[in-house]
Structure 1
Amino acid sequence: MKTYTYCHPEAIEYTGDIPILNETGEVVAYSRRIYDNFLKKRFDEIFDFRYFLKYDVLDYDGEKLFTVKKISRRGKLWFEGIEAETKKKYIISYENWRIGLPTLYITDHKMKIQLEKELEDWSKFLLNQEEIARWKAEYCETEGEFHMTLQINDNSPIQQPQFFIAICQATLFVGA
């Protein structure tokens, strides 16, 4: 099992680089909230920083690895994830989003991963009812930030932390 950790300020509007560390404490990537332009950022302020949502995960040299962005059209909401190198696209959408904790599904039309989101425990990524990864966000009130831990099981068909981190960042701060 591979473990990654990082801390994110409580402020949803934060757009700085968030270093992602591996088990030995080395920076392996960075997470960053992105606005395509100044007008989108200003408009987003009106909507409590929850309308325009885009997260990039970058490698150590600042090259884009994975992007996830929120899409809202005709009353429907979903996220789109894109691997930068392969241009492989994932559709990330909620089912039962009007009740308590909705179930999130991630699909590339070949496999369907389920994210069982928990607020105070491990959120589990399941493929064919088997856990392939888990992620936990613990809020530290004294520091005003979230302490995140991602664990990827050896049996996961996706071993890249950027996939899980980008999706988790988007769901943590927006939810639905």
Structure 2
Amino acid sequence: MASLVNTLASKVAEAIPSIKEGSTIPSGYAIKEDNPEQATVDLGKLAGKNLIIGVPGAFTPPCSSHVPGYVGSYDKFSAKGIKDIYIVAVNDAFATQAWKEKLDSKQPNVHFLADDTGAFTNAVGLGFDATGLLGNARSQRYVAVVENNSVSQLFVEQAAPDVKVTAADHVLSQLK
């Protein structure tokens, strides 16, 4: 198991995101939230100041310890001007909704999204090959602060299991 985690870490470190501060979030990549048959959320068309959080996988231990910091701190993020928080996982909608329930997230401004084909994740250049451990390509762990469709800040972990620069407290302290 340790060797697979190390392999994932090295693959993430090799990946270079195509989005960066100042980039525009691509539109036309609808993602599923509540309906497993219909994609309804286009992250490239968000108004205001929002967070997009990419995670490698619903129910994985690092992700299940990462996301509750955002759910529990929504009011603090809101006080800094954040309208909504979008958690994006390359999983199916059944998995992301079950994960939302397992994490007991009742915060209406925190959205759990299924990028089931990985199209959005690939469009922003933040995917990596996780077939050895998770069975398919997944998202790197990142947080993008997006203001009216433009990335104002971007935090990307160097290794998939890490939750350091993308931890809720760290991002909250760095918000401009």
Q: TM-score, normalised by structure 2?
A: 0.26
Q: Which has the larger radius of gyration?
A: 1
More helix by share: 2
Structure with the bigger RCO (C-alpha within 8 Å, sep 6+) is 2
Q: TM-score, normalised by structure 1?
A: 0.26
